[in-house]
Structure 1
């Protein structure tokens, strides 16, 4: 048993909890980060990482518990300058303003002035001093949008350090970087550590945790599970802490199942490239469920949106039932037989101000009557069939979809995807944010559609979503790097998703 650490942490959260309505986002979580270390914060999606980061940066107040910096209680939430002097977060999506210079970004909203006017010479001189102090090798006059992603991240770190903060949270810092850029970023992180900067490192790539971090904290189901030195926590134990014991839902497991001999290929991805994926190829046959997983930023969502016509692809060919799919054309995807449950039901899947019926028929309303008029009888028949087959709990077809629970809203999105009787279903995070009963109902629909001979692409990081798949393809940095056939173990799949190799 190790003796207790008597050092004062540079940041400490003690028993912090946060609820949003009935949802527990964080329950009595705690973390200690000591000066000069890189401390990893890991956990599956929904584990509570983002909520804890929001509390550590003063963006939200905990319902209970306390945050301390160097043993002193954190400033009031309203004291933004006080928080900036203690902590900063460099997010996956840059907060740098691309059309401003590096110098302007470093001192945004605090430009040095003389006689009421900005002193540009003083601004450039101070910016150069900050860049030199922290070893950021870019010109203070450079347009920020012209910098490489890793350079923009270093400018954000330098900006945070210029406020006086010596504790920096890095949120998925390598998600948009290639191998050489990651190596250079890690060199700078080590140099900054040596200069007295402390990092909280959040990443889905667990191999990076072992490469750059000295300690790790695991959250699971909104609770603290373990904090330990990285060197004392083997990879299999880290993954076990992240996954825990899984509740197996009453839905079909693909283990032992075979796709019918001679089943036709319904979806063909042939050397397809896009903004965050490149040279991806695979096929999905009728009656087959293929999972597409990987870390945030790995390219799985971009590829899925390309298949659904929601975003363009720049190279290769996508074929639906042997017919080529034009790039970035939702209407063409629908006509060729693609049904889609998008990643965000609120932003892409529903019109909350419209009724259940209007949302359910949205993909087929142009076929519901002549000259653009929707036949009321056909509208009612299709909507009632959708409500019955998916078990949507609603007051009726004319209820506003905004009045439904999250699970029932997702069922409406699923109904919309099935309305045009697609041959290919693209399901992005189909059970995200729904209760257990709704999750089971939605996954039961997936099994029913498989039995009807549809080709299904399940794009998710959730283990239970992927258990219905005949095989799971794992994407890292825009490429397919592994394939797991049905019957995989949780630890093996999570290790692959997180980018580490089990001994």
Structure 2
């Protein structure tokens, strides 16, 4: 672990008198519901300060106030000891604050370099935008990050991992004094995360202050100096990482002591039943090549592989998003047409996508509207919708999946990341699918919600569903999977029963293609 910073939230950073950020008595409410209640928070120069809390605790709201996305209802903000008014993103940038949001803010039709310098483009002769200069400058940023990304590539053609890297580069290119990172490794492969950690060390060595929001405890202990935990809109504690245990942090986040929720448990009973889904020599160019596997009723299959291995593309092909050029898929022994998502739903499949905000939700619509989108056939009454039936269905799903929302008509964009994920899960489970495909279901959610999602997956299998889980989070993958398929270069190269996987290291070596 790195050398620790100041021991309490009122101390100074080294020989400097003022912290890089001081937020005092911050309050914020939405629709009359208090999200932040008099929160104090500060970060020293050259410090990595972890910010933790359950979904809905208020951490993202606190940081969006610092970034100018939201305006505070009460409280004060100081940068380098000077009071500042941050009422817009422009105000925050002028104060030297940069943020890498958990939800992306990129323009898919633009190149990587154009996204990085959007609004601050380098100018050439005649004050025209100099795209070549932007490419050169973006290349320097990526070189410092220790990652390889083509600045000329169109963002919409890249995977989620590269979107995240572009977001990080975009913030670093603005010469920020304070950098807020909200789950920056959620979509990164392990070697990419390592490069990010090394970069963070170099940045803090030069005095940059970093706020690091993450639910991954090993990351927090590796790079952070102090941690602040929020619960229900209040600051619960601020301590050096040397003075608190992971168990104490988790208990602070969830308000209770977690037991062995993330350990694999063999389900009692008859075990896997009939073959629910069978893929035979499935091809969906350019990523999916000659994939064959079976999934039984009451079984959870995990798909493990590096970013770009073809895991997500396999899920998209099974759900009718990407075109299958050859091979076949059968459900309950009957060959099915998966030429569109509508056909896949009709065949009894459902997909929880990798990017819940872009692919799983209509952000400006209400929670209820999002929940009912796949169920319009059930709430229709002629050409109209049965409002009463819709309210009953939405209310039942909110209760079943413990979605924390003040009112079903509240816009889903205002929910925390974990509760948004629950809405995506709930809306598809409302269709009662036979086969559920989950792509990175625990990405960007707190440990309490992770344990809830793990229990949901176990419950679905116990009810006879077939579940396919794609995850870069090996603890979660090993907690739920009865078998793990290793995906590499678009095909399944190995299959391991859960009993044959000793630990995460075994799985990592299998994914990398290394035998021990």
- TM-score in terms of structure 2 length: 0.60
**How many residues were matched structurally?**
419
Question: Could you tell me how far apart the structure 2 residues matched to 1:214 and 1:33 are?
Answer: 10
Question: Could you tell me how far apart the structure 1 residues matched to 2:71 and 2:80 are?
Answer: 19
- Alignment counterpart, residue 84 of structure 1, candidates 79, 94, 117: 94
Match of 1:477 in 2: 472
Q: Give the direction of change, closer, same or farther, for the CA distance of 1:436–1:109 in structure 2 (3 Å limit).
A: closer
Deviation at 1:431, TM superposition (A): 4.0
Q: Give the direction of change, closer, same or farther, for the CA distance of 1:152–1:307 in structure 2 (3 Å limit).
A: closer
- Alignment counterpart, residue 176 of structure 1, candidates 180, 187, 200: 187
Match status 1:5 vs 2:19: no
Match status 1:60 vs 2:58: no
Q: Give the direction of change, closer, same or farther, for the CA distance of 1:91–1:187 in structure 2 (3 Å limit).
A: same
Match of 1:202 in 2: 213
Match of 1:16 in 2: 26
Instruction: Within 5 Å, give how 1:280-295 maps onto structure 2.
Output: 283=295, 285=297, 288=298
Q: Give the direction of change, closer, same or farther, for the CA distance of 1:169–1:329 in structure 2 (3 Å limit).
A: same
Verify the 8 A CA contact 1:90 1:153 in the aligned structure 2: yes
Question: Could you tell me how far apart the structure 2 residues matched to 1:49 and 1:25 are?
Answer: 9
Match of 2:58 in 1: 48
Instruction: Within 5 Å, give how 1:65-464 maps onto structure 2.
Output: 65-78=75-88, 80-81=90-91, 83-92=93-102, 93=104, 95=106, 99-100=110-111, 102=113, 105-106=116-117, 108-109=119-120, 111-112=122-123, 117-118=126-127, 124=133, 128=137, 131=140, 135=144, 142-143=151-152, 145=154, 152-153=166-167, 155-161=169-175, 165-245=176-256, 258-260=268-270, 263-266=273-276, 283=295, 285=297, 288=298, 306=316, 309=319, 311-312=321-322, 319-323=330-334, 327=338, 329-338=340-349, 347=362, 360-362=375-377, 398-399=386-387, 404=391, 409=394, 411=396, 430-434=401-405, 462=449, 463-464=451-452
Residues 192-223 of structure 1 deviation map (CA, whole Å, 9 limit, x = unaligned): 21122121122232211122222222223333
Q: Give the direction of change, closer, same or farther, for the CA distance of 1:159–1:305 in structure 2 (3 Å limit).
A: same
Q: Give the direction of change, closer, same or farther, for the CA distance of 1:399–1:476 in structure 2 (3 Å limit).
A: closer
3-state SS of 1:481 partner:
helix
3-state SS of 1:347 partner:
coil
Question: Could you tell me how far apart the structure 2 residues matched to 1:303 and 1:126 are?
Answer: 29
Question: Could you tell me how far apart the structure 2 residues matched to 1:22 and 1:308 are?
Answer: 43
Match status 1:39 vs 2:49: yes
Deviates more, 1:467-476 or 1:211-220: 467-476
Larger Rg: 1
3-state SS of 1:56 partner:
helix
Residues 333-390 of structure 1 deviation map (CA, whole Å, 9 limit, x = unaligned): 2332346899688629999999x9998552798xxxxxxxx9x6xx9xxxxxxxxxxx
Output the aligned Cα RMSD: 5.9
Question: Could you tell me how far apart the structure 2 residues matched to 1:206 and 1:280 are?
Answer: 36
Deviates more, 1:73-82 or 1:212-221: 73-82
Question: Could you tell me how far apart the structure 1 residues matched to 2:245 and 2:341 are?
Answer: 46
Question: Could you tell me how far apart the structure 1 residues matched to 2:288 and 2:49 are?
Answer: 30
Verify the 8 A CA contact 1:38 1:200 in the aligned structure 2: yes
- TM-score in terms of structure 1 length: 0.61
Residues 68-126 of structure 1 deviation map (CA, whole Å, 9 limit, x = unaligned): 21222222415824543320112343637763573784373464476xx3156799399
Question: Could you tell me how far apart the structure 1 residues matched to 2:373 and 2:252 are?
Answer: 44
Verify the 8 A CA contact 2:21 2:42 in the aligned structure 1: yes
Deviation at 1:191, TM superposition (A): 1.2
Question: Could you tell me how far apart the structure 2 residues matched to 1:298 and 1:19 are?
Answer: 41
Deviation at 1:242, TM superposition (A): 1.8
Residues 131-182 of structure 1 deviation map (CA, whole Å, 9 limit, x = unaligned): 4899468999942548955763453133221xxx310112222222222222
Match of 2:37 in 1: 27
3-state SS of 1:61 partner:
coil
3-state SS of 2:27 partner:
strand
3-state SS of 1:175 partner:
coil
Q: Which runs of 5 or more residues in structure 1 are unaligned?
A: 248-254, 366-373, 380-395, 415-428, 487-495
Deviates more, 1:258-267 or 1:213-222: 258-267
Q: Give the direction of change, closer, same or farther, for the CA distance of 1:71–1:305 in structure 2 (3 Å limit).
A: farther
Verify the 8 A CA contact 2:183 2:215 in the aligned structure 1: yes
